[in-house]
A and B are shown apart, each in its own frame.
Chain A
Amino acid sequence: MPLLQESLALSAILFVVGTVGVLIRRNAIVMFMCIELMLNAVNLTLVALSRQVGIEGQIFVLFVMTVAAAEAAVGLAIIISIFRHYESVDVQHFRLLRW
């Protein structure tokens, strides 16, 4: 089948880049963008496999996009709320629930 292996490889690379991004950054907004990147990598897997498994893969991507939009809205609201409290979006300053 055309381009299935290549799409899965690209998806794996993008997911790993997103994971590394979450691990090496301390800015909460950039970490959040990396999570969006990981969601998109999984979407690419679903779309690539939908050709042989069925159109349901594309429908599932639709739902993932909706949940990602809802998550982005709530997550950014939380970041704004935290910024009001700490005057920073650097996660090393958020110590309330840490040792």
Chain B
Amino acid sequence: MSLIQLVFYFFASLAVASSLLMITRRSPVYSAMFLVLTLFSLAAIFVVLDAHFLAALQVILYAGAILVLFLFVIMLLNLGYDFEPDVRGRFALVVAGGVGLVLLAEIVALLSGAEELPPVDLVTPLLDAQGAIGAVAEPLFQNYVVALEITGVLLLVAMVGAVVIAKRRTV
């Protein structure tokens, strides 16, 4: 087993373990912390898969921004230590486990029936030629520039919407 596989399996097991801990811990703060760990191991896996720019974004955006937002809301609503136990009862656990197994079986069946992709490597030559950021940025600002602009508008709408919804109604 090569070193890269070893790193992959280490972070993959870390991601699975921390995601399982995330859905079973009672305290929302612990859940948020284990979500950070999961997203961080996913960032490491992105590095293994040669998506260096996305790995950096994953750490900055998810572990940096979104999780801070989650923790901020948990603290704001005072759910840090004064939380109600919220894991559903035994019946719901069985149903959820059944649904999960069915979903997993569906995905496995779908993947095993899929046709093989051609064994080409399209990303590595691009990364060698343009670097980690250039390879992503060039098509982003040429072919997908309209989508990029619309994304900017979407962020503006989300920002205004979040302020309007969360604002305390006075008068």
Contacts and interface: CB of A to CB of B under 8 A. Distances in A.
A7 B111 CA distance: 12
B49 A47 contact: yes
A3 B10 CA distance: 13
Interface string B96-107: 110110011001
Nearest to B72: A76
Interface residues on A, range: 35 or more
Interface residues on B, range: 35 or more
B86 A30 contact: yes
Given A52-B117, A55-B135, A24 B92 contact: yes
A1 B12 contact: no
A16 to B, nearest CB: 5
Contact of B65 (A7, A10, A15, A69): A69
Given A17-B100, A72-B66, A80-B165, 19 more contacts: A2-B5, A10-B16, A13-B104, A14-B38, A17-B16, A19-B99, A20-B97, A23-B99, A27-B83, A36-B35, A40-B39, A51-B121, A51-B124, A55-B123, A65-B57, A67-B154, A73-B158, A80-B76, A83-B77
**8 tightest CB-CB pairs across the interface, nearest first?**
A70-B158, A21-B23, A23-B96, A77-B166, A77-B162, A77-B165, A27-B86, A26-B86
Interface of A: 1-4, 6-8, 10, 12-21, 23-27, 29-30, 32-34, 36-37, 40, 43-44, 47-56, 58-59, 61-63, 65-74, 76-81, 83-84, 88-90
